[in-house]
Amino acid sequence: EIEPEHIWSHIKLGYALIQAQKPDEALTECETVLKSPKAKKDTKAAAHAICGLAEIGFNHPEIAIEKCQTALSVSEKEDWAYWCLGDALIQLNKASEAVVQYEAAVNLKPEEALYYYKWGQALAQLEQNEAAIMQYQKAIEFDTSHEIRKQAQLLMEALNTTD
């Protein structure tokens, strides 16, 4: 049984495991939260989104979409669910649909560099290079870790050479 004050620790650990590309461990964390009767609505939405992101790590985009739609049915303000949907749609080669999801994530969390970066990647896949570069610039502007900055700069340079 998870103590209520520890539930978000599982969510944060799940998020970190997604970032570390450890979907099996992330899935364990989100499932632990979902089994807890003490998990509240927003926490459950985040857990469903983490489960969806883990499924993307297993290359199961259809399952990921189900999990992320469940997250949004619990709370339409769950930005991770839009991130998850975008990534799942990219795996399904549906970049134009992914753009809509990343934009929704940005609208919920306008200072989250990762969402601009993902949005830029989807636009680049659609060969909308100017729009992609704009999103990469936003990602760089909001990136505090400087991890996204490096990748965004490389991708912008690549797009500039294709114009």
Q: Are 160 and 126 contacting, i.e. CB atoms less than 8 angstroms apart?
A: no
Q: Are 28 and 50 contacting, i.e. CB atoms less than 8 angstroms apart?
A: no
More confident residue, 67 or 145: 67
Q: pTM (2 decimals)?
A: 0.91
Q: What is the residue whose two structure tokens read 């990136």?
A: 143
Q: Among 1-5, 45-49, 159-163, which is the least confidently predicted range?
A: 1-5
Average pLDDT of the segment spanning 83-102: 98
Domain 99-163 has CATH 3.40.50.10950: no
Homologous superfamily of 1-92: Tetratricopeptide repeat domain (1.25.40.10)
CATH 1.25.40.10 residue spans of the chain: 1-92, 99-163
